[in-house]
């Protein structure tokens, strides 16, 4: 099977809704409990793409199997060079096929080209697959918050991972 990555479009909102919705309804991987509407995903795609990449991974049949995007970590001006990255693959996407790596590397390349300096991943602390992915791509753990989220009648922690993706000498964003 061949896969490709492209910019997300509004028409991808339903597929992204369904991918994320599985994790919201069935796992601790996201602390979201109620999946937003397709219309909210449409708005998110449009608004995110004003300043950050929003990409999807598709198979040769043009089926969206995953999505990745970035957003500012916090909404104070001084954080403008750092992003929080988000990546999700469909729960039924092929496992151990390198799809997460392919998608995340494409996001990193786009962010670096724009001029962002740091990517941060926020991961539920028992999500071993995501932790391994981040570590394999050169991210380092920079924080651990235990018992910060409460979902499905359980307390869960998160770990923060960070990767430097750009020179600190050039403080220009090419948005």
Q: What single string gives the DSSP state of each residue in 35-99?
A: PPPHHHHHHHHHHHTTTS-EEEEEETT--EEEEEEEEESSSSGGGTTEEEEEEEE-TTSPTTSSH
The parent domain of residue 28 ranges over 3-164
Angle among Cα 139, 25, 126 to the nearest 5 degrees reads: 35
Asked if residue 160 is part of any domain, the answer here is yes
Asked if residue 170 is part of any domain, the answer here is no
CATH number of the domain encompassing residue 116: 3.40.630.30
Asked if residue 146 is part of any domain, the answer here is yes
What's the chain's average pLDDT? 95
**What confidence tens digit (pLDDT) does each residue in 68-88 have?**
999 999 989 999 999 999 999
Q: What's residue 173's pLDDT?
A: 83
Flag whether pLDDT at 54 surpasses 90.
yes
**What confidence tens digit (pLDDT) does each residue in 111-166 have?**
999 999 999 999 999 999 999 999 999 999 999 999 999 999 999 999 999 999 99
Closest C-alpha among 119, 120, 129, 68 to residue 97: 129
What's the pTM value of the predicted model, to 2 decimals?
A: 0.93
Asked if residue 171 is part of any domain, the answer here is no
Which tokens in the block code for residue 144? 């651990």
| Number of domains present in the structure of the chain | 1
Asked if residue 154 is part of any domain, the answer here is yes
């Amino acid at each position: 099977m061949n896969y490709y990555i492209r910019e997300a479009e509004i028409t991808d909102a339903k597929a992204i809704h369904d991918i994320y919705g599985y994790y919201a309804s069935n796992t601790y991987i996201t602390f979201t409990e109620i999946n937003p509407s397709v219309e909210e995903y449409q708005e998110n795609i449009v608004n995110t793409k004003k300043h950050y990449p929003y990409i999807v991974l598709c198979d040769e049949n043009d089926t969206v199997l995953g999505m990745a995007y970035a957003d500012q970590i916090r909404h104070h001006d001084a954080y403008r060079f750092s992003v929080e990255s988000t990546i999700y693959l469909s729960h039924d996407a092929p496992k151990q096929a390198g799809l997460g790596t392919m998608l995340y590397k494409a996001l990193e390349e786009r962010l670096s080209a724009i001029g962002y300096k740091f990517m941060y991943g926020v991961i539920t602390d028992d999500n071993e697959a995501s932790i391994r992915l981040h570590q394999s791509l050169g991210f380092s753990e920079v924080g651990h918050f235990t018992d910060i989220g409460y979902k499905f009648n359980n307390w869960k922690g998160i770990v923060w991972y960070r990767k430097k993706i750009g020179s600190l000498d050039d403080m220009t964003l090419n948005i």
